[in-house]
Amino acid sequence: MEKVVERFIRYAKEYTTSDPKSKTYPSTDRQLVFMRKLVEELKEIGLSEVDMDKFAYVTATIPAKGVENSPVVGFVAHVDTSPDFSGENVKPQIHKNYDGTPVQLKNGVTINPKEFPEILNYIGQDIITADGTTLLGADDKAGLAEIVTAAEQILKSTDIQHGKIRLGFTPDEEVGHGTDHFDVKKFGADFAYTLDGGEIGELEFENFNAAGATIKINGRSVHPGHSKNKMINALLVAHKLIAMLPATQRPEYTEKYEGFYHLLSLNGNVESAELYYLIRDHSFEKFEEKKKFIQEVVQLVNLEYGKEIVSLDLADQYFNMREKVEPVMHIVDLAKQAMIDAGVEPKIKAIRGGTDGARLSYDGLPCPNVFAGGHNFHGPFEFVPIPSMLKSVEVITNIVQAVGKLKA
């Protein structure tokens, strides 16, 4: 327990926020700083073939021990934290023996069971939060700490027999570029698991189809005292466009397999404005319908003004991995049994988001997603129960042993 907790807290304190506006890869130098430290740590605990390539992907190997001709399994986590909330100067706090009352943090931040009832599942457990001024970074430093801790445990064990194991750690997952340059062939795994899930027991092989929509509006600024029939207020055009998209298909009104349009940013003035939307749906057909509808909305606004004052840049980001995982469903069943053997109830569900595993699956590396234990990612209400992290380490070890019994 001390190992995974110490490792997670140490990782959480590292400033690794990615930047969606950056043109570099990785998007921030601070990720490189952490990656270099990670390389040294992996070497210190005895991993083989530790490498960081020019794109900052860190990979390593646990050589086979007592097993020949089994498949090569991989475990993957990302090192960056979300730019949605501050990840600088993270100060993790351990709350011993959580008693079910609201957790009071700084800046008036309260993890109140009335608003976050899932925390009541962890009464009597030790939980980790940030201090209220930052996110915690359990997404995905909990997964990172669990993989490295499991790797160290497997290396030191004289009882665990296994085939070759590959580890991969990526930057920029939170800004949609985590596997842009990942060399699946060089990685050399037959299949892998991302440790990037939420609550204990989560096991996922479905995720959103995803696109990003950048909408630019060119208004016309005229002195407001003399603007009749002349001014085109770009901010009000943006408001019109927002109102034309279905309000019930916003994230705050959707759940399970329901998709959404998410207005992530709006900037501008009378002369010009820019909106950025995330478009998500598990169903590929509904995903295509959503993209078509936003295109039609832009066309209608332009028709109203009699000229093209609105432009749309629509780009696919990733797709539902289910299509690539279903032909090899035994790898999902294997992870499910590994949880059962660890005393964890599997909760198979669809990810309301995406992981590196989605793109890796389309690149030829089937990659379901396993829980890392955290809750309320990307904000100050984030927490991770310590027992969930311990069970994640156990599940990784169980998967390794089960794969060692398979034939390549």
Mean pLDDT of 150-173: 95
What would you measure as the largest C-alpha separation in the chain, in angstroms? 84
Q: Does the pLDDT at position 317 exceed 90?
A: no
Q: Does the pLDDT at position 146 exceed 80?
A: yes
Q: Do domains 2-207+320-403 and 209-317 have the same CATH topology?
A: no
Q: Does the pLDDT at position 393 exceed 90?
A: yes
Cα(20)–Cα(25) distance, integer angstroms: 11
What pLDDT is attached to residue 107? 92
Which of the following is catalytic: 80, 140, 152, 281?
80
CB of 81 closer than 8 Å to CB of 19: no
Mean pLDDT of 177-189: 94
- Give me 26's structure tokens: 């990785």
Which of the following is catalytic: 140, 152, 173, 204?
173
Q: pLDDT (tens digit, 9 = 90+) per residue, 114-130?
A: 999 999 999 999 999 99
Q: Does the pLDDT at position 242 exceed 90?
A: yes
What pLDDT is attached to residue 2? 83
Inter-axis angle of helices 29-44 and 138-156, nearest 10: 20
173 carries an active-site annotation: yes
Q: pLDDT (tens digit, 9 = 90+) per residue, 38-57?
A: 999 999 999 999 999 999 99
**Rounded to whole angstroms, what are the CA distances from 162 to 154, 369, 407?**
9, 21, 12
User: Has domain 2-207+320-403 been given CATH number 3.20.140.10?
Assistant: no
What pLDDT is attached to residue 200? 97
- Give me 62's structure tokens: 């646990």
pLDDT band per the 50, 70, 90 thresholds, residue 176:
confident
Cα(316)–Cα(115) distance, integer angstroms: 34
Mean pLDDT of 71-87: 96
Domain residue ranges in the chain: 2-207+320-403, 209-317
User: Has domain 209-317 been given CATH number 1.10.10.10?
Assistant: no
User: What is the overall mean pLDDT for the chain?
Assistant: 95
Cα(323)–Cα(408) distance, integer angstroms: 22
CB of 92 closer than 8 Å to CB of 105: no
Cα(198)–Cα(204) distance, integer angstroms: 10
Q: Does the pLDDT at position 408 exceed 80?
A: no
What pLDDT is attached to residue 407? 81
Burial status of residue 65 (CB atoms within 10 A of its CB: 0-12, 13-18, 19 or more): middle
Q: Does the pLDDT at position 385 exceed 90?
A: yes
Own/partner pairs for 339-343, CB < 8 Å, 24+ apart? Answer: 339/201, 339/203, 339/395, 339/398, 341/398, 342/391, 342/394, 342/395, 342/398, 343/391
Mean pLDDT of 145-172: 96
pLDDT band per the 50, 70, 90 thresholds, residue 312:
very high
Whole-structure pTM value: 0.88
What pLDDT is attached to residue 34? 98
Q: What percent of the chain has pLDDT over 70?
A: 100
80 carries an active-site annotation: yes
Please report, as a single letter, which amino acid is at residue 182: F
Q: Can you give the C-alpha Rg of the chain in angstroms?
A: 23
